[in-house]
């Protein structure tokens, strides 16, 4: 690979969908920045796997839920590669199952700080580096939303669904804002995907338990979502911007 190969930042790239995106992007010729908040070992494992396969990758620490963390992430990108061509806003959180009238202000503030403000701020930093208005050469942003934005997630985590609804609207608006500056902006909306994010919300068997309500009768895999993200990152999607792509096995379809 050379210094001319494009650079991709994947927030939350050390596990699940993010790690799958990192691996696939490296195989597709991207130089990859694997962002992590706290699990350095997991991020370094992804980096090692990419390097052993002949790719180029670097791990960068930073929590998207804080301004200092975001500054650290983008300083790491600048230091490692000196350019940015793509961003996957993948980092996000869920919380334990609860009704809205049981949710604390602290829970809501954490949810929106990480899932919404963090994604918007990371996109802003990416635009400063990629937009032709700022002297960049263009690029692409893919936001990871959720089919929960269509379904509402009643009696589980309406706050998470609402945060992803905000990401849908943000995707459409940002796409229009930077479309003439060489930047495409799209989102994927995963459905029930078999990753460990469900365990972090206290429901480790959720993906399998919901199989019967998914038209395809099974949960999706991280690689299936990553494949859709790689399409949106690729030249094959050169005429696609402002799009929201469901990767949900048919769940949430109109």
88 DSSP β-pair partners:
10, 142
Give a yes or no: residue 237 inside a domain.
yes
Give a yes or no: residue 14 inside a domain.
yes
Pairing of strands 86-89, 57-61: unpaired
* pLDDT for res 212: 81
Give a yes or no: residue 253 inside a domain.
no
* pLDDT for res 3: 82
Give a yes or no: residue 146 inside a domain.
yes
- pLDDT tens string 154-187: 999 999 999 999 999 999 999 999 999 999 999 9
Shortest CA distance to 95 belongs to which of 110, 80, 85? 110
Give a yes or no: residue 58 inside a domain.
yes
pTM of the model: 0.94
* pLDDT for res 198: 47
Residues of the chain with pLDDT under 70: 1, 196-208, 254
The domain total for the chain is 1
Q: For this structure, is 231 an active site residue? A: no
* pLDDT for res 217: 85
* pLDDT for res 210: 74
- pLDDT tens string 95-131: 999 999 999 999 999 999 999 999 999 999 999 999 9
Q: Domain range spanning residue 175?
A: 7-247
Give a yes or no: residue 15 inside a domain.
yes
Q: Which of 36, 157, 160, 239 is catalytic?
A: 160
What is the three-state SS of the chain? CCCCCCEEEECCCCCHHHHHHHHHHHHCCCEEEEEECCCHHHHHHHHHHHHHCCCCEEEEECCCCCHHHHHHHHHHHHHHHCCCCEEEECCCCCCCCCCHHHCCHHHHHHHHHHHHHHHHHHHHHHHHHHCHHHCCCCEEEEEECCCHHHHCCCCCCHHHHHHHHHHHHHHHHHHHHHHHHCEEEEEEEECCECCCHHHHCCCCCHHHHCHHHCCCCCCECHHHHHHHHHHHHCHHHCCCCCCEEEECCCCCCC
Give a yes or no: residue 137 inside a domain.
yes
Mean pLDDT of the chain: 94
Give a yes or no: residue 1 inside a domain.
no
Percent of the chain with pLDDT over 90: 86
What CATH number has the domain bearing residue 138? 3.40.50.720
* pLDDT for res 194: 87
Could you tell me the CA-to-CA distances from 54 to 13, 84, 164, 169, 184 in Å, in that order? 18, 20, 35, 38, 28
């Amino acid at each position: 690979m050379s210094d001319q190969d494009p650079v991709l930042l994947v927030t939350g790239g050390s596990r699940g969908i993010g790690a799958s995106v990192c691996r696939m992007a490296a195989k597709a010729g991207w130089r990859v920045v694997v962002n992590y908040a706290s699990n350095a070992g997991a991020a370094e494992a992804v980096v090692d796997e990419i390097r052993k396969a002949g790719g180029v990758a670097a791990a960068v620490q930073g929590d998207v839920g804080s301004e200092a963390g975001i500054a650290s992430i983008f300083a790491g990108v600048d230091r490692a590669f000196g350019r940015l061509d793509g961003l996957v806003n993948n980092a996000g959180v869920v919380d334990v199952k609860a009704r809205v009238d049981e949710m604390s202000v602290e829970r809501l503030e954490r949810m929106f700080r990480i899932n919404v403000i963090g994604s918007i701020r990371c996109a802003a930093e990416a635009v400063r580096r990629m937009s032709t208005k700022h002297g960049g050469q263009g690029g692409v942003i893919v936001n990871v939303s959720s089919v929960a934005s269509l379904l509402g997630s009643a009696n589980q985590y309406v706050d998470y669904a609402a945060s992803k609804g905000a990401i849908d609207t943000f995707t459409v608006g940002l796409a229009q804002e930077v479309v003439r500056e060489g930047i495409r902006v799209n989102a994927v909306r995963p459905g029930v995907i078999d990753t460990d994010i469900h365990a972090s919300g206290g429901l480790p068997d959720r993906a399998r338990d919901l199989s019967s309500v998914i038209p395809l009768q099974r949960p999706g895999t991280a690689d299936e979502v990553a494949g859709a993200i790689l399409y949106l990152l690729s030249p094959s999607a050169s005429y696609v911007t402002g799009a929201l792509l469901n990767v949900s096995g048919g769940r949430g379809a109109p």
